[in-house]
A = this chain, B = another copy of it.
Amino acid sequence: MRKAFLLFSAILFTPVAVNAQDEVVSAIFSNALNSDVAYENLRTLCETTEGRISGSPAAAAAVEFTRQIMKNMGLDSVYLQEMMVPNWRRGEPEIARILSSRYGSTDINVIALGLSVGTGNQGITAGVVELRGVEELEDLGREAVEGRIVFFNGPVDQTHYNTFTGYSGAVGQRFHGPALAADYGAAAALVRSVTTANHDYAHTGVTRFREEGRNIPAFAVSPVGADILSDMLEADPDLKLFVRNTSHRLPDVASFNVIGEIRGSVYPDQIITVGGHLDSWDNSPGAHDDGAGCMQSIDVLRIFNELGIIPRRTVRAVMFMDEEISQRGGRKYAAEADRKKEKHYFAIESDRGAFTPRGFSIDGSEEQLAAIQSLSPFFEPYGIYEIFSGGSGVDISFLRNYYDMALAGLVTDSQRYFDYHHAATDTFDKVNRREMQLGSAAMAALIYLLDHLDILEPADN
């Protein structure tokens, strides 16, 4: 197939025909759908760098793996961008054991939240107070909470079509809950996993850590475990919970963003960024979150190379480090762009899972949004109907601190994402090759069109 496409692209790029862009977009999608390069690279990433939380040896392996992939593609430039990253470690497998005079002893599945402090080796045993959300803390007051384990059991609202909306409504109890409970004197916090699945896996994620102020051990509990605990509490409000984790934070260590570039033929000083984040949580292979986004970003460059598309502007694939905890990679990338007085034209991130693409979420001015929406007819044949104003991606969002540029997020079918997000279920077998490749193609086509049609203004810092 590769030969056929090279021939095709040679025909395409000699005379610029009417509807030439349509044909290029079609060639991009065909190339992507015939390729398994990114998919097989994702398989290797998942198999060899599982649990690549920032600061870990697995994360270092992922840096080297993606650097080598891009080196071997013969890009114009491949380099690392160094920064210090947090180095939080889970420690030993966590324990949460319900101790009930009525039911005896029952273990439920928990996992420490990112940045959680440990309980100490002896663990903590305390009574439990169940809440549906952080706002109930104030009603309860300090007396009801002090010395107890606060159990935030608010579920994701399943009625939203877009699961990110449901997630956003529930994630506050994970991020803010433990710190707020600490202010009321809680001994520890347990948070219902922020997931749309009804299974026995616990979903981790970062929780707020205060440099000054009290921090308490914080755990996510699986939905099944949360239901067990809630039911037992109803029957036996005096039950105790024993929790133990040995999470701890080590000194920051050096890590890297990994960057590969095709140099622009006309405006090499104008940068187009396409990226994902290379770190994952330590409890999973991070297939959808966000190994796939990284491999799709590299795949955009592969597609350009194979089709002989020479971009007019410099196109960079960026694997950002440390999205999950402190976003040091995204911050560094934007700060370096500013320091070097780079011009940036456009940036897109893929960090919503390698599901079938449905649209682009645009963070930019009304003019920028309208310009990108004008490209809609190119995308509708590929089931992409939704180009709307919204957030882009966490890593590229720091460019906004310096540039009045258009940022975009690849929007994918959201139904399955939170079944896997931050859990051991985020494995390679959950990724479908075609769905993932459609994401590569959608980003490549959008970058090609924006670059070719000059419909955005480049932004200086």
Q: Which residues on A are within 8 Å of B, measured CB to CB?
A: 29-30, 33-34, 36, 158-161, 163, 196, 198, 356, 358, 381-383, 385-386, 413, 415-416, 419, 432-435, 438
- Sorted nearest first, the 9 A-B pairs with minimum C-beta distance are A30-B159, A415-B434, A385-B385, A33-B158, A415-B435, A416-B432, A33-B159, A356-B413, A161-B382
Give A396 Cβ to nearest chain B Cβ, in Å. Answer: 25
Give A434 Cβ to nearest chain B Cβ, in Å. Answer: 5
Contacts of A160 in B (CB 8 A): 33
Give A38 Cβ to nearest chain B Cβ, in Å. Answer: 14
Contacts of A30 in B (CB 8 A): 159
B383 engages A434 (CB within 8 Å) = no
A40, B416: Cα distance in complex, Å: 17
Question: Which residue of chain B has its CB nearest to the CB of A196?
Answer: B434
Contacts of A386 in B (CB 8 A): 383
Give A64 Cβ to nearest chain B Cβ, in Å. Answer: 28
Q: A163, A198, A356 — which one has the most chain B CB atoms within 10 A of its CB?
A: A356
**What is the count of identical protomers in the complex?**
2
B432 engages A159 (CB within 8 Å) = no
A120, B198: Cα distance in complex, Å: 49
Give A292 Cβ to nearest chain B Cβ, in Å. Answer: 14
29 residue pairs of the A-B complex, CB under 8 angstroms, read: A29-B159, A29-B161, A30-B159, A33-B158, A33-B159, A34-B158, A34-B159, A161-B381, A161-B382, A161-B383, A161-B438, A196-B434, A198-B433, A356-B356, A356-B413, A356-B415, A358-B383, A383-B386, A383-B413, A385-B385, A413-B413, A415-B432, A415-B434, A415-B435, A415-B438, A416-B432, A416-B434, A416-B435, A419-B432
A2, B415: Cα distance in complex, Å: 22
Question: Which residue of chain B has its CB nearest to the CB of A158?
Answer: B33
B158 engages A434 (CB within 8 Å) = yes
Question: Which residue of chain B has its CB nearest to the CB of A35?
Answer: B158
Question: Which residue of chain B has its CB nearest to the CB of A435?
Answer: B415
Contacts of A198 in B (CB 8 A): 36, 433
Q: A36, A386, A433 — which one has the most chain B CB atoms within 10 A of its CB?
A: A433
Contacts of A33 in B (CB 8 A): 158-161
A382, B432: Cα distance in complex, Å: 22
A416, B419: Cα distance in complex, Å: 17
Give A5 Cβ to nearest chain B Cβ, in Å. Answer: 10
Contacts of A413 in B (CB 8 A): 356, 383, 413
A455, B34: Cα distance in complex, Å: 43
A196, B436: Cα distance in complex, Å: 14
Beyond A29-B161, A415-B432, list 17 extra A-B contacts (CB 8 Å).
Answer: A29-B159, A30-B159, A33-B158, A34-B158, A161-B381, A163-B434, A356-B356, A356-B415, A358-B383, A383-B386, A383-B413, A385-B385, A415-B434, A415-B435, A416-B434, A416-B435, A419-B432
A443, B398: Cα distance in complex, Å: 43
A385, B30: Cα distance in complex, Å: 23
Contacts of A34 in B (CB 8 A): 158-159
Question: Which residue of chain B has its CB nearest to the CB of A382?
Answer: B161
A34, B161: Cα distance in complex, Å: 11
A30, B157: Cα distance in complex, Å: 10
Give A302 Cβ to nearest chain B Cβ, in Å. Answer: 16
A163, B356: Cα distance in complex, Å: 13
A198, B386: Cα distance in complex, Å: 31
Give A183 Cβ to nearest chain B Cβ, in Å. Answer: 33
Question: Which residue of chain B has its CB nearest to the CB of A39?
Answer: B198
A30, B416: Cα distance in complex, Å: 17
Question: Which residue of chain B has its CB nearest to the CB of A358?
Answer: B383
Contacts of A356 in B (CB 8 A): 356, 413, 415
A435, B417: Cα distance in complex, Å: 11
Question: Which residue of chain B has its CB nearest to the CB of A385?
Answer: B385
Give A12 Cβ to nearest chain B Cβ, in Å. Answer: 15
Contacts of A385 in B (CB 8 A): 385
Contacts of A435 in B (CB 8 A): 415-416
Contacts of A381 in B (CB 8 A): 161
Give A85 Cβ to nearest chain B Cβ, in Å. Answer: 34
Question: Which residue of chain B has its CB nearest to the CB of A386?
Answer: B383
A160, B34: Cα distance in complex, Å: 10
Give A329 Cβ to nearest chain B Cβ, in Å. Answer: 30
